[in-house]
Amino acid sequence: MLGDSELQALNSSLKTVADDNQRHHQELHRLLDQFHFLLESYNRLKSDYEEEKEGRERYKKLARAQERNPFILVLVDGDGYLFKEYLIKAGAEGGVKAARVLNDSIRDLAHERLGIEADQCRIMVRIYSNILGLSKSMARSGLVRHEARSLSTFASSFTRAQDLFDYVDAGDKKEGADYKIREMFRLFADNNQCKHIFFAGCHDTGYLSLITPYRGKTDRITLVKAASFHPEFERLDLPVRELPTVFMSTQSAGNRAPSPTISIPTAPKLCTYYQKGTCRYGSSCKKIHISPGQQLSKTPEHSTRLSISSQDKNHTTARESEFYSKNLPYMNVKSLDFIPVNKDGERIDTYVPPPSPEVWEGYVQRSKVRKLCNNYHLGGSCGNEICEFDHSPVDSDSLNVMKHILRQHVCSKGTKCRALNCYVGHHCQKGGCRGSKPCRFGWRGHTLDLTVSQWETPVERSTSADSSASPDSVDDDSGAWTTTGWGDSNGSPLEPSFNHTLSNMRL
């Protein structure tokens, strides 16, 4: 039989075994809990890995697809960027050539911006414009025929010439082209397949809000400069390039040489029609009405004005042909629909280059067959159903001669004229002319500030007032239109060198 000490020792051993067993059981539960935690973590990580792997595979596929089809986007607002005249006049053939010239020019610029990467890129061109309105405007300038949507032939040929070239009619609604261009830009501005965007819409400050978020991103966007380029776009820290072989372009107003402007009152003129009893303007006539034989008194102030005016006229610096070619606005989409004026509200004519002798001779020969109708070819319409003058199509050279001749004759409304279809002159643009006879424009017509300050709405769209008077209605005291040409009140021709040509025209 066990003694008490042995029983006590056995009890202690059993208790120790039980305690050890309890600790072992607790440790086993702890290890099992950790195992379950690690297993759950592993499953989560594995799931995340699988998702990440799938995402990477999708990205690789997308990246490979984008690298396979890189392209360069050219966005053009066709209402503000007009193709060169010779391209427009060539019609369908001009559309094909315009696409080819544009493609070559953009390819050269792309090499400048992207290097050898440009060789892997296709060129996508999207041009949006109001073809109906543009056709009407261009018809008035003799670039296309007098038919609705006559520009469509050029546009469709341009579209067919290249696979990714589209000349799109945005409709005649206001801002139609703007809306299309904005959406196309937003769609491709951050697209990896689109490696670069050439933006040709810098005539309209409405696009500034669209381009400003990409300021300084020279690797993504290049601005294209053409006619009416707004200086605000130069502040976007983006490269600016020109396409002189593609679009019409003129020197910006900010780079023009300053025009000599002297504001000196001129001497008042007497109205000879009042003295004859035939002035139809009455109290609204701008000239002085005095009876025959009555002398106009000259105040000391008036005498001083006359002497100052005469002195300045004698020292007027003659403007050469190069001055007018650089400073006068060229024909663009604005000059086809609006009237350019300077800061003093005086009308500025678009530049008409002097014809060459060969062109003059071609016009003379054409006019010998039949005299051309000015109203139809230059004014846009004739309105005379029994008109005796020629309405048949006229070539661009002859049309330029007509413009050149008529711009040398003074509009009866002067620089206040706001008629879009007025085809006579509002200031002189003859190189080397100082205003002496036979020039009819006077001193102010040779010192006019030629910087365009704004473009005003023509009277044809703003009111129902009569348009600017053609030479048929000139009735001031400086001269009258005769059957042999512009002449003074006695019918003497003012410019003998033009007599052989003027006699063949209905002016």
Domain extent listing, the chain:
71-242, 321-459
pLDDT at position 162, please?
92
Cα 86–Cα 342–Cα 347 angle in degrees, nearest 5: 65
DSSP label at 423? -
Comparing C-alpha atoms, which of 228, 229, 115, 97 is closest to residue 165? Answer: 97
- Number of Cα atoms under 13 Å in the Cβ half of residue 489: 7
Report how far residue 405's alpha carbon sits from residue 364's, in angstroms, rounded to the nearest whole number: 12
What's the pLDDT at 465?
A: 42
What pLDDT, on the 0 to 100 scale, is given for residue 228? 77
Residue 297 pLDDT level (bands cut at 50, 70, 90): very low
Q: Output the pLDDT for position 211.
A: 93
User: Is the separation of the CB atoms in 257 and 230 below 8 Å?
Assistant: no
Q: What pLDDT score was predicted for residue 240? A: 92
% of the chain surpassing 70 pLDDT: 75
pLDDT in tens, 83-112: 999 999 999 999 999 999 999 999 999 988
Question: What's the distance, CA 339 to chain centroid?
Answer: 14
Cα distances (Å, whole numbers) of residue 63 to 58, 98, 116, 472, 485:
8, 34, 19, 70, 73
User: Which range, 56-70, 122-136, 260-274, 451-465, is most confident?
Assistant: 122-136
**Residue 204 to residues 67, 137, 340, Cα–Cα distance (Å):** 34, 19, 16
The whole-number average pLDDT for the span 200-218 is 90
* pLDDT value, residue 8: 83
pLDDT of residue 302: 42
Residue 458, SS3?
A: coil
> pLDDT tier at 64 (50, 70, 90 boundaries)?
low
Q: How far apart are the first and last CA of the chain?
A: 154
- pTM exceeds 0.75 for this model: no
pLDDT of residue 7: 79
Buried b (16+ CB within 10 A) or exposed e, 142-153: bbbebeeebbbb
